[in-house]
Amino acid sequence: MHILRKTYLAALLLVALVAVSCSSTRSQEEPAHTEAGLLDTIDRNLELAVAQYKVLRDNLPADRFPKTYYPDRNEYEFSGSEWWVSGFYPGTLLMLYQETGDTAMLAEAKRIMKVLEKEKNNTRTHDLGFMMYDSFGELYEMEPDEQTKQILLQSAESLASRYEPTVGAIKSWDSKEGDYLVIIDNMMNLELLYWASRVTGDPKYADIATTHANTTMANHFRPDYSTFHVLNYNKTTGDVQEKKTAQGYADDSAWSRGQAWGLYGYTATYRDTDDKKYLEQARRIADYILSQPNLPADKIPYWDYDAPDIPDAPRDASAAAIMASALLELSAYVDGDEAKRYVSTAETILRTLSGDEYLAKPGTNGGFLLEHSVGHLPAGTEVDVPLTYADFYFVEAMQRYKELKK
């Protein structure tokens, strides 16, 4: 979720002024390797994104949500509102509206969110943070109103219903009797719970989120601060009975997007709690990622840091975009060389994703912005394709970069 949303209204008022000042101070194209050059690139990317998302909108069946697109066969894959990615399309549209003022983005976001709204009652998934907070949460920040607030509170209630005190964690996936599966991705759903406690004054949601973050910190991470993907708890005792993967190369490998979810999740949890132990956790995860010998110089990770066919393994632009966004936020919580290292890595990611290899040409890629992400390689699905969450976190990272440099 976009961190500096608190400043959104003030930022909106400044948009015209900034545009004027940018056009006078950056009237000529800046070299791409400079900060001003990257800001120019971001402005162009955001204009491209608006045009691309109009293509995506025009190809979307009325009550469906974009998942991916297969360029070789010109084929889309859509989902219903219950699929975990359903919040990213409206969330991206809302950020594009904030950045460009294009009202078509806002109108499409509001249309699709009417279809999404019913998921507030969905108690069969842990993904309600992704689905509801990245969409309705973003809208509430822009236009606080009672109806949006109630949708978010009901979503938080549904998410909290999956919490089991004996385990001290929210169940991620329903599974067979005797399993209690929790995945690292679940750290991303906690923001919704912290928000609900802030708004209602009822600590129960924040308490659940904090216990979940502590349980995950105690059990999911290896001594080097890489993370397992899936933990299976014993629901009766709370003991860990399995540590494994679902979407990574191997149980003991480091699936790239999982590392990125951990980095983003603990950075956000620090923001929501002010508790330094989560900041320390995020810094250690960042150290792990940034010191990986298999992280290429352009900072777009292979889909798994331990993929056996590196350097021929597919890259995952979605993991890179999540990392960029998280590192930009984390940079604001640390000082000196450490902050510079995070910003400079995020800049490298943003530049690489803005290049010919990853950024879609206008009118191509089914209207998605980025190419070359990996959804679920072991299942053979969504390999080297555009993904709606790669676009979401790329746009969020660009928005954060602009705010950081303002």
Catalytic residues: 127, 185
Cβ nearer to ligand GLY, comparing 162 with 257:
257
Size of the site for ligand GLY (CB under 6 A): 5
Write the single-letter amino acid at 171.
K
Distance separating alpha carbons of residues 221 and 242, to the nearest angstrom: 13
Interface with ligand GLY in residues 320-379 (CB under 6 A): 375
Cβ nearer to ligand GLY, comparing 185 with 371:
185
Which one of residues 119, 185, 191, 329 is an interface residue with ligand GLY (CB under 6 A)? 185
Write the single-letter amino acid at 64.
R
Smallest gap, in angstroms, from Cβ of residue 62 to ligand GLY?
26
306 binds ligand GLY (CB under 6 A): no
Phi, psi for 160 (deg, rounded to 5): -65, -25
Smallest gap, in angstroms, from Cβ of residue 395 to ligand GLY?
17
Cβ nearer to ligand GLY, comparing 84 with 180:
84
Write the single-letter amino acid at 58.
D
Write the single-letter amino acid at 374.
V
Smallest gap, in angstroms, from Cβ of residue 310 to ligand GLY?
20
67 binds ligand GLY (CB under 6 A): no
Distance separating alpha carbons of residues 241 and 209, to the nearest angstrom: 22
191 binds ligand GLY (CB under 6 A): no
Cβ nearer to ligand GLY, comparing 168 with 375:
375
Can you read off the two tokens belonging to residue 87?
Answer: 């919040």
Query: What string marks each residue from 71 to 100 as x (binds ligand GLY by CB under 6 A) or -?
Result: -------------x----------------
Those residues with Cβ within 8 angstroms of residue 88's Cβ, 6 or more apart along the chain or in another chain: 130, 134, 135, 388, 389, 391, 392
Report DSSP letters for 369-382, one per residue: SB--EEEETTTTEE
Q: How many helices (H) and strands (E) does the chain have?
A: 14, 9
Smallest gap, in angstroms, from Cβ of residue 113 to ligand GLY?
21
Which one of residues 64, 67, 212, 257 is an interface residue with ligand GLY (CB under 6 A)? 257
What's the burial of 165, exposed, middle or buried (CB within 10 Å: 0-12/13-18/19+)? exposed
For ligand GLY, which residue has the nearest CB?
A: 185
Cβ nearer to ligand GLY, comparing 262 with 375:
375
120 binds ligand GLY (CB under 6 A): no
Can you read off the two tokens belonging to residue 63?
Answer: 């009550």
Cβ nearer to ligand GLY, comparing 265 with 375:
375
Distance separating alpha carbons of residues 389 and 334, to the nearest angstrom: 27
Distance separating alpha carbons of residues 183 and 261, to the nearest angstrom: 10
138 binds ligand GLY (CB under 6 A): no
Q: At what angle do helices 317-331 and 276-290 cross, to 10 degrees?
A: 130
Smallest gap, in angstroms, from Cβ of residue 257 to ligand GLY?
5
Cβ pair 199, 278 in contact under 8 A? no
247 binds ligand GLY (CB under 6 A): yes
The residue length of the chain stands at 406
Phi, psi for 169 (deg, rounded to 5): -155, 160
Smallest gap, in angstroms, from Cβ of residue 378 to ligand GLY?
11
- Point out which residues bind ligand GLY (CB under 6 A): 84, 185, 247, 257, 375
